[in-house]
Every structure is written in C-alpha cells, then in structure tokens.
C-alpha cells in the first residue's frame, strides 16, 4: 500500500527494447519494488527482468569512486583476484581521474590525430549517446565511434536504409492487433522480448496465424500455425523459395508493386532460380510447407514480419533482411494498419543511440558523414570545421586496428567488448595492447579489468534522460535514487572529459542536449523535452498534439521517386561450415533471466537464483551419442578456443547444434565465435560456427 513506500518514480525498464514503462517504489532511498504502468508498449505488463531485476543497482560491487591503475599493477588481463577485484587499481579524486583520462587521450590525439576510438552505449540515454559521438568526432577529428548495434541489428538497418529509406521499424509491434498473419523469424520473443511476446500470444489466441521460422524451437511454437525449424544459415534459400511461389502462383500485389516499388522485374527474374523443390533440401523445410506459408502470407488481409538476431547475425545478415523486405513489398504488406517490418531491437536504447549518431558512418538521424551538405550543417551547429568526411571503423574493425597499431587509445562507456565481441581472446588481447583505456561503467566489468582509468557512472534508475524503444517511442527516464558514493551521471562525465580535451561545452542538464539534438534531427520534430515529461511520443510526430505515427510509408518512401527497392539476394554459405574436425554447429544468444554479458542480471538476486550456472543446450539424443550426462560439464571447442560448460538437455535444439548463451564469464561463449563480418552491415557471424563437443 502507499504507506509502504516513500515515493514512486515513473520511468522505463532498463533492459530490453520493448521499453516497458514502470514505477519504482522507493523506500529509505532504495528501490523496494517495481510495478508496471500503462505505457504505450506494455499497458502495465512487465516480465521477470523488469519486475525483479532492479536490485543490481544496490549490489556491493558497484563502482563508487574513480580508480586509476596502479603503477606496479601486473600486465593487463582478466585474471584479477576474485576476493579482491580492485587490487590493481587505486582510488582517485574525480579531478585527478578526469585529468588523467583526458591527458592520456589528448597525448595520443596530438601525437597522431587518429589514435583514440570510442564505444558508446545503448544502455545510456539519447542525450548521452549524442554527447559521446560528438566528443569522439569533435574531440578527435574522426568517426571511429560505434556501439553494440554493430553486434545486433546493423545488417537489418543497412537493408532497411537501402531499400525503404529509413532504419526504424515501419510499424510498432502492437500493430499485430490489427494483423491476421504474422511471421516471426530468427527471434525468440518469449525469452528476449517477453512483453512483446504476450501481444503475439494474444494475437494467436484471437485466431491470428503466427508463422515461426527458427532453427531452434521456442516458446511461441505452441501458439503458432506454422513452425519452420529450418537449417541454420539457410534463411535466403527458404525466403527466396517462398517468394518464388508467390511469383509462380501470381499471388503478388500488382498494384502496390507498380505504385510503390522499383526493380521488380529483376527480382522476379532472380527468383526463378529458387524453386521450392530445390531449396527444400537445402533449408530442410518440405515443399508443401513452403508453398503453404507463401499462400498464407500473400493471402493475408494484413501481415507483419518480425525478426531478431537469428536473421541479422550472419555474414549474410543484410541479405536475410533484404529478403524479408522484398517479401513485404511484393505482397503489399507495408504502410497499412496491421502490416509492416519490425526488427525487434535488443537494448533499451539501441534505437535511440543509433538515431543519435553513435555509429561510424552516420551523424544523427542517419545523415551520412560523406555528404558535404550534412557535414556543413553539423559544423555550423557544433561551431567549426570539425567533421571528417571518412567513415569510421566499426566495433570489430576497431579491435583489428588496435592489433595493427592504428588505434592506441579507447574511451569505452557502458560496453563490455571483452565479453561481447566475437573471438573474445582476440578482443581481450587488443584491450590489453591499448596504451590508454578509459572505461566508464557501473561495475568492474571484464573490460574494465583492462582499463588505465575507471570512471564510476550511474545505472539507468539513477539518471535523467530520454530513450527510444523498438517501436520508435521516445520516453522519459527519471532517477529513482541517487548514484552510490561518488558515482556520476554519464552525461556529466562525458562533458567533463570534453572540457579537458579543449572543447567548449557548457551543458548543465540533459534537456539542453536534447534541444541541440532537435536542431539536426528531423525525427524529433514536434517532440520537446517538456512534452516528454508528460507523455511518450512515437516519432515521427506530425504536430505538437500528434502522439506520433505507428505506421510509416503509407504514401511512399523517402527514396528516389518515393519508391522502395527490391534487392535480390543470393545464397551464401556460412563463413565456417562443419567438417570432420569440428562437426557441429555453434549458435549463441540470450536467456530469459540474463541480460547480454550478465554484468547486471548476474548481480540481480532473483534472476541469478533462477539461472545461476553457465549452461549450454543440446538435444538429448546428441548428448547420449556423445556420452554426456545432462548436468555434467562438457567441453566446447572451435578454431578460436575452448570453454567448459554445464550440459542441458533441450529438444528445441536440433541434433547437429549447440546453443551457448553469452552471459557467463566463466564459460564465455564469445571465446568460440567467428569474427567474420557481413560485408555491408559489418556484423559478425555470432549465429554460426563449426564446433566440437566432448565430455570432460
């Protein structure tokens, strides 16, 4: 009851891109519990992470003082004493730590001009993401700034920008209420977007046809009308076969294609090479099912397509998304209520951080750094001839550039590449090689172990700022409690560093940053800080009263002649296929209870209690064949390295595959993963590598 808490603070969940609104109940300056409230994406619902995953912010491991690496610390590495994790660092004042951080970076900058790169965070606010990319671009004169979108939906965004002219979703996921058919491919919403999954289940309960396409079984399977458990890595073959049927049986929307698209004839011609009779063997789905799915989706009154990282994290991730876009375009399932394309975003603010320009090739609102007009507009706002015309390096490329001695320093805010980058040993060696590493975070993460200076920052429930969820809904985050000890809000730390790098920054509140963002970001037209204090707004908003547009592209596309494009895609084999030495397929991902690299959820008591041990899933038949008991420790090896991890039996995983979550440092999945990149989206192939598994 209202007497059992001192105050309530309305904010947004700190975990996934669904962006559920919630209310923190604060008692004695601590969050006592959390309730869901009526936000546009959750209507008071919360999942287990949103409801029970908040206590990480009060964990004793929180960083509360700035830290500087001791002069006598041994070589940088992960092997700190678990009983005394801070042993290689000494406490410092903010003044000393900020001076030390800035001096190291400016020394590298003034020495060479290009030797400091930045990873910002999709867990920070829009304003913090904007400031971070501005600091790298303005402070160092290059575009070597990126964040974890490169590891999740970079390929989806590349395909959307190329073919429909916008990187966001074309329809909110709640629009499924108005659909009669929906495809969910390469996504596991019951684990990774649980509140969105409740809408999908309700849709199925009302009679909507839910078509699931995934190499792994999943929770939505029992709500589905079709479950296509296709062979991993064969997305293009399967989708092209479905589109082949749509062409062959003339199920496409002639009027829509003629009015709103280009390159149709080439697409039609291309698809003749993908008959389901041939593709069926490749993708492992029988011809009748491929035909039935084609007829069901093309015949829908209103159809939507949702996808996740099962689509995007391949060397052909951009091609996978191109196919999904083509499928929507040829059936006219876009631009109307209950239709559209929706890549389900991962982090709570990965949409907003990308919109804010935390990517090496685009300034805010996906405006190209290579465009002279764009650069001069930003130069005018930022004051000076500042912005480099060359695209910067992406996440994995930055690690390679460190090994090649092209980058010598980094500023990493809220990212954990020692755990999240593919071929983690390669990434860790790169971090160890840096001359100067500044890490800003809330915990001594695996990455912070390699730092020269650590700046203690604020968790999401401790800060003020806006975030943008997977639905393009911009919402206000509010501080429920103060950061612990001397920890500070991230925007404040970035501003202090910028000043010490010689930049003339005078922001004293995130609202000032938001006002500056509006000068260059059309997506924020009609959205003001004051408005966001009162309500969530979906961009684009057409007037100060318009709550925003859930559906995009009703009247055409922001492309030449207003037309979307069909881009044909060919079948590409995964970068590393199983062979005699490594006969199985490794795939990686998340679990319901643990968030990404586990730094928050493994310190959240209820979540850690529910899923306390590193575990990997295999089919029970495969475990039997390999002589591995469920619950025992097995060894998983690839050409990059090996881990020991507990075996879990799971019939959802196909017999030639192992699924390893990437949240566990003691069995780090990314020791194993393949760093080969999609050539367009520059996303690594986390979803496919050759591996072998044995009993220990």
Query: Which one of 46, 387, 513, 623 is in contact with ligand SF4 (CB under 6 A)?
Result: 46
Out of 16, 131, 369, 459, the residue judged to bind ligand SF4 by CB under 6 A: 16
Alpha-helical runs (H) found in 180-305: 189-192, 194-205, 235-248, 254-260, 264-271, 276-283, 287-298
CB of 590 to ligand SF4, least distance (A): 11
Helices 510-520 and 372-382: crossing angle, nearest 10°?
A: 150
- Rounded Cα gap, residues 650 and 512, in angstroms: 51
Q: In what order do the strands lie in the sheet with 226-228?
A: 226-228, 209-213, 181-185, 303-307, 340-343
Least distance in angstroms from the C-beta of 485 to ligand SF4: 26
Examine residue 640 and tell whether it contacts ligand SF4 (CB under 6 A). no
CB of 47 to ligand SF4, least distance (A): 3
Q: How far apart are CA 55 and CA 456, in angstroms?
A: 18
Q: Is 40 in the site for ligand SF4 (CB under 6 A)?
A: no
Q: Does 20 bind ligand SF4 (CB under 6 A)?
A: yes
Q: Does 18 bind ligand SF4 (CB under 6 A)?
A: yes
Nearer to ligand SF4, 20 or 480 (CB): 20
Q: Which two structure tokens, joined as six digits, stand for 461?
A: 């429930």
Please report, as residue ranges, which positions from 47 to 106 form the binding site for ligand SF4 (by CB under 6 A): 47, 49-50
Shortest gap between Cβ of 529 and ligand SF4 (angstroms)?
22
User: What is d(CA 446, CA 462) in angstroms, rounded to the nearest whole number?
Assistant: 22
Among 92, 159, 195, 551, binds ligand SF4 (CB under 6 A): 195
Query: Nearest 5°: phi and psi at 449?
Result: -55, -25
- Decide whether 50 or 510 has the Cβ nearer to ligand SF4: 50
Indicate whether 536 belongs to the interface with ligand SF4 (CB under 6 A).
no
Q: Where are the beta strands (DSSP E) in 407-449?
A: 409-413, 436-441
Helix axes 287-298, 235-248, angle to 10 degrees: 60
In angstroms, the CA 505 to CA 110 distance is 20
Q: Does the protein bind ligand SF4 through residue 115 (CB under 6 A)?
A: no
Please tell me whether residue 357 binds ligand SF4 under the rule CB under 6 A: no
Q: How far apart are CA 440 and CA 431, in angstroms?
A: 15
Residue 352 found at the interface with ligand SF4 (CB under 6 A): no
> Does 19 participate in binding ligand SF4 (rule CB under 6 A)?
yes
Distance in Å, CB of 197 to ligand SF4, minimum:
8
* Number of C-beta neighbours around residue 377 at 10 A: 16
Return the structure tokens found at 244.
């082949």
Q: Name the packing angle between helices 490-500 and 126-140 (round to 10°).
A: 10
Q: Are 525 and 541 in contact (CB under 8 A)?
A: yes
Binding segment for ligand SF4 (CB under 6 A), chosen from 189-197, 370-378, 448-456, 497-505, is: 189-197
Nearest approach, Cβ of residue 560 and ligand SF4 (Å): 37
Interaction of residue 310 with ligand SF4, rule CB under 6 A = no
User: Is the separation of the CB atoms in 600 and 631 below 8 Å?
Assistant: no
Shorter beta-carbon distance to ligand SF4: residue 19 or 104? 19
Quote the least distance from Cβ 36 to ligand SF4, whole Å: 7
Q: Is 360 helix (H, G, I), strand (E, B) or coil?
A: coil
- 623 binding ligand SF4? (CB under 6 A): no
194 binds ligand SF4 (CB under 6 A): yes
Q: Confirm or reject binding of residue 592 to ligand SF4 (CB under 6 A).
A: no
Largest CA distance in the chain: 73
- Measured from the CB atom, is 575 or 607 closer to ligand SF4? 607
> Which listed range, 75-83, 133-141, 166-174, 187-195, lies at the site for ligand SF4 (CB under 6 A)?
187-195
Taking the complex as a whole, how short is the minimal distance between the CB of residue 221 and ligand SF4, in angstroms?
19
Task: Quote the CA–CA distance of 678 and 674 in Å, as a whole number.
Answer: 12
Q: Interface with ligand SF4 by CB under 6 A: which residues?
A: 13, 15-16, 18-20, 42, 46-47, 49-50, 193-195
């Amino acid at each position: 009851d209202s007497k059992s808490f001192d105050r309530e603070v309305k904010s947004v969940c700190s975990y996934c891109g669904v962006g559920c609104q919630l209310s923190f109940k604060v008692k004695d300056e601590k969050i006592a519990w959390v309730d869901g409230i009526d936000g546009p994406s959750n209507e008071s619902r919360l999942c287990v992470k949103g409801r029970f995953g908040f206590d990480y912010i009060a964990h004793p491991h929180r960083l509360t003082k700035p830290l500087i690496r001791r002069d006598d610390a041994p070589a940088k590495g992960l092997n700190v004493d678990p009983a005394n994790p801070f042993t290689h660092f000494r406490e410092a004042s903010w003044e000393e730590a900020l001076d030390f951080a800035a001096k190291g970076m400016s020394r590298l900058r003034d020495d060479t001009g290009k030797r400091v790169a930045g990873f910002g965070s999709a867990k920070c606010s829009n304003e913090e993401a904007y400031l971070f990319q501005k600091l790298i671009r303005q402070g160092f004169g290059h575009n070597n700034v990126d964040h974890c979108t490169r590891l999740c939906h970079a390929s989806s965004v590349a395909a959307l920008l190329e073919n429909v002219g916008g990187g966001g979703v074309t329809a909110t996921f709640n629009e499924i209420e108005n659909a009669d058919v929906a495809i969910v491919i390469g996504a596991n919403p019951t684990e990774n977007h649980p509140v969105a999954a409740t809408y999908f289940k309700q849709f199925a309960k009302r009679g909507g046809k839910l078509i699931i396409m995934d190499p792994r079984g999943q929770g939505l399977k029992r709500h589905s009308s079709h479950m296509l458990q296709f062979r991993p890595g064969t997305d293009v073959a399967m989708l092209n076969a479905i589109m082949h049927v749509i062409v062959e049986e003339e199920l496409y929307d002639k009027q829509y294609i003629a009015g709103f698209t280009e390159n149709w004839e080439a697409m039609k011609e291309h698809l003749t090479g993908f008959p389901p009779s041939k593709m069926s063997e490749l993708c492992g789905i029988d011809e009748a099912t491929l035909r039935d799915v084609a007829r069901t989706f093309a015949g829908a009154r209103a159809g939507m397509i949702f996808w996740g990282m099962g689509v995007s994290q391949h060397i052909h991730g951009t091609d996978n998304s191109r196919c999904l876009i083509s499928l929507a375009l040829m059936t006219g399932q876009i631009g109307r209520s209950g239709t559209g394309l929706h890549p389900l975003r991962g982090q709570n603010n990965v949409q907003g951080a990308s919109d804010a320009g935390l990517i090496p090739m685009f300034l805010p609102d996906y405006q190209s750094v290579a465009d002279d007009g764009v650069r001069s507009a930003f130069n005018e706002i930022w004051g000076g001839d500042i912005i480099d015309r060359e695209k910067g390096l992406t996440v994995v490329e930055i690690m390679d550039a460190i090994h090649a001695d092209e980058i010598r320093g980094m500023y990493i805010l809220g990212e954990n590449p020692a755990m999240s980058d593919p071929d983690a040993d390669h990434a860790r060696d790169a971090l160890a090689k840096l001359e100067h590493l500044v890490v800003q975070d809330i915990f001594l993460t695996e990455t912070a172990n390699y730092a020269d200076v650590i700046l203690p920052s604020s968790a999401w429930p401790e800060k003020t700022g806006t975030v943008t969820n997977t639905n393009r809904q911009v919402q206000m985050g509010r501080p429920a409690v103060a950061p612990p000890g001397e920890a500070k809000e991230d925007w404040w730390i970035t501003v202090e560093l910028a000043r010490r790098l010689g930049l003339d920054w005078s922001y004293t509140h995130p609202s000032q940053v938001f006002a500056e963002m509006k000068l260059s970001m059309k997506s924020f037209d009609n959205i003001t800080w004051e408005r966001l204090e009162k309500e969530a707004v979906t961009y684009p908003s057409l007037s100060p009263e318009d709550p925003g547009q859930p559906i995009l592209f009703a009247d055409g596309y922001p492309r030449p002649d207003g037309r979307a494009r069909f881009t044909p895609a060919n079948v590409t084999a995964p970068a590393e296929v199983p062979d005699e030495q490594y006969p199985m397929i490794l795939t990686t991902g998340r679990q319901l209870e643990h968030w990404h690299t586990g730094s928050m959820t493994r310190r959240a008591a209820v979540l850690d209690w529910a899923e306390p041990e590193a575990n990997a899933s295999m089919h029970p038949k495969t475990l039997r064949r390999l002589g591995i008991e469920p619950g025992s420790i097995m060894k998983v090896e690839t050409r990059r390295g090996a881990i020991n991890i507990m075996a879990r039996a799971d019939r959802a995983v196909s017999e030639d595959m192992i699924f390893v979550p990437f949240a566990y440092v003691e069995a780090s999945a990314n020791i194993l993963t393949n760093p080969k990149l999609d050539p367009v989206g520059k996303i690594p192939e986390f979803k496919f590598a050759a591996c072998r598994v044995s009993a220990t």
